[in-house]
Amino acid sequence: MDVIVIGSGIGGLVTATQLAVKGARVLLLEQYLIPGGSAGYFERQGYRFDVGASMIFGFGQKGTTNLLTRALQAVSINLKVIPDPVQIHYHLPEGLDIKVNRIYEEFLQNLIAYFPHEDKGIRQFYDECWRVFHYLNSMELLSLEEPQYLLRSFFQKPLACLGLAKYLPQNVGDVAKRYIKDPRLLKFLDIECYCWSVVPARMTPMINAGMVFSDRHYGGVNYPKGGVGQIAQKLVEGLIKAGGQIQYQAKVAKILIENRQAVGVQLTNGQVYRAKRIVSNATRWDTFEKLLNQQEIPSNEKRWQLRYQKSPSFLNLHMGVKAEVLPSGTECHHILLEDWEKMTATEGTLFVSIPTLLDPELAPSGYHIIHAFTPSWIHEWQGLSPSEYEAKKEQAAWRIIDRLEKIFPGLDTGLDYLEVGTPKTHRRFLGRDDGTYGPIPRYKLRGLLGMPFNRTSISGLYCVGDSTFPGQGLNAVAFSGFACAHRIAVDLGL
C-alpha cells in the first residue's frame, strides 16, 4: 500500500479519493458500518436523519472554493443538490428576527431594517469579508506546506496571496469594530460567528468568516438530494472506481512506528496493515493520545493543546413530526437564543435543521424531520446509572421541545418519533474524543496562524479533518483533504 487513511469522514474521503486519482494505492479503514463520520446518517421508522452537518457549503459551480463539487468531479461522480433560499432564520433576544437570504442585498436589507444607523458600517464589514473570499476564490486551494505551490501561486496571483497573508492573523471582532459601534449589532456578529466557529467574533479567524459570510451568497448553501450521507456514499463510490479500497468495522487500535517513522496500523482485531504513508482523520486528541503508543505526546502537540481546547459536544434531538406543525414558509435552518449572556453556555444556542423542507423524501409523506441540537459537555452525562441517564435525556429533550414550541406551536402533540443523542453518543459513534465538535482557541489567538497543517512531527504520519487547517465544516475539511493529498503526492513523487 502507498497510503492508509484512518477514518472516512469527509476529510479522510477527500484525501483518499484525491490520492487514488493520482495513482496511489489507497486503503481507507473505517471503524463504523458506513462512511461519513459527522456527515453520516441513520434511518429509523421511515425517517433518514443526518447525524450532524446539514448546512452545506462547497457545492457552488464557480470559482475555486467549491471543494465538495470539485472532490466529486475529480472521481467523475454527480450528486444532485437542492439550493436553500435562506441560510439561517435567527430568532434572537430583544425580538431580533433576521433571515440570511441567499441574495446578499436582501440579507443586508433585513439587517439594516433593525440597525438603520449602522447601514454604512454593515456594508463595509460584509464587503471586507467579500474581499477575503474573492482572494481565496481566485486561487487553487492546495497545501500551504508545499513551497513550489506557494511560489507558483504567488507569481500567478500576487495580490490575492498578499491579501490573504494580511488577513491570516486577523479575527472577525477586530475587523467588525472598525466599522460597527452598536453593541447589539456586534452581538449579532458574535452569533453569526458562533453558529459555525463555536467561539465569538473576537476569536473567530477572518479567513473562515470571509468564506462563510460570502459563499452563502455566492455558491450558496445547498442540500444533497437523498441526505447529507450521500456525499460520503458518493465519494466512496468514486474511491472504488479510482482503484482505492475501503474496509468498514475496521477500527485502528494503534499506529505502528519503527525508527521514528509511521509505517502501518494495527486494528483492534490484531490485523496489521503497512503503507508508505499514514493519514489520521481522527481528531488530534484521538490520534496523539490514543492511537500512538508513546510515553509522551510530541512537544509541538503539547504546545498546540495549550492554545486550543476541545469544544463542547452537542445534545441532539432527532424528531419526526406531523407536517402541520410547521407554519407555511418555514425555513430549513433556525437558530434560537433567548439571552445573549447564554450564547456559549450549555443548552444556550439552539440549532435547528428541517431538511425535509428541501428534500421531502427523507420522511414518510405528511411528516417532517426536525434535528435540534445545542452545546453540551460530556462530563454532564458521565457517572450516571442507565436509568438516570435515560431520565436526564428525557428531561433535557422536553426543555428543548418547550423552547421550540415558541416557533413551532403544537410540536409536542405533533411528535411522531424522538431520539435523543448526547456527547456520549457522539463519542461512541463518531469516534471523537469527548464527542467534541472540534478544536477552539483557549484564548484570543492571531487568526488562523496557530492551526496545524497536515504534516506532523512524526515522519510519515499526517492528520486531516477538522483539527487541521482551516478547521470545522464540510467544505473546510474538504480543503484539508485536498491539501493533505497534495502534500503526500509530492512526498511520494506522484
Ligand X SMILES: Cc1cc2nc3c(=O)[nH]c(=O)nc-3n(C[C@H](O)[C@H](O)[C@H](O)COP(=O)(O)OP(=O)(O)OC[C@H]3O[C@@H](n4cnc5c(N)ncnc54)[C@H](O)[C@@H]3O)c2cc1C
The contact set with ligand X (CB under 6 A) reads 6-12, 29-32, 37-39, 52-56, 251-252, 281-282, 286, 314, 373, 430-432, 437-438, 465-466, 472-474, 477
CB 10 within 8 A of CB 232: yes
Distance CA 456, CA 445 (A): 21
Minimum distance from residue 429 beta carbon to ligand X (Å): 7
Nearer to ligand X, 414 or 471 (CB): 471
Provide DSSP, 93-143: GGG-EEEEESSHHHHHHHHHHH-GGGHHHHHHHHHHHHHHHHHHTTS----
Distance CA 244, CA 2 (A): 11
Beta bridge partner(s), residue 352: 334, 372
Closest CA to 234 of 484, 464, 13: 13
Beta bridge partner(s), residue 265: 255, 273
Minimum distance from residue 418 beta carbon to ligand X (Å): 16
Instruction: Assign 257 to helix, strand or coil.
Output: strand
Cα angle value 244/249/252 (rounded, 5°): 80
* 16: Cβ contacts below 8 Å, ≥ 6 apart: 3, 5, 8, 26, 28, 235, 239, 244, 246, 279, 485
Minimum distance from residue 250 beta carbon to ligand X (Å): 6
Nearer to ligand X, 185 or 362 (CB): 362
Distance CA 171, CA 47 (A): 40
Nearer to ligand X, 114 or 314 (CB): 314
Minimum distance from residue 156 beta carbon to ligand X (Å): 29
Minimum distance from residue 100 beta carbon to ligand X (Å): 13
Nearer to ligand X, 17 or 472 (CB): 472
Distance CA 480, CA 142 (A): 8
Minimum distance from residue 161 beta carbon to ligand X (Å): 26
Minimum distance from residue 233 beta carbon to ligand X (Å): 13
Nearer to ligand X, 193 or 477 (CB): 477
Number of helices (H) and strands (E), helices first, in the chain?
Answer: 15, 21
Distance CA 9, CA 40 (A): 8
Nearer to ligand X, 264 or 431 (CB): 431
Minimum distance from residue 342 beta carbon to ligand X (Å): 19
- Cα maximum dimension of the chain: 66
Nearer to ligand X, 160 or 211 (CB): 211
Nearer to ligand X, 52 or 173 (CB): 52
DSSP class of 327: P
Nearer to ligand X, 68 or 172 (CB): 68
Minimum distance from residue 472 beta carbon to ligand X (Å): 4
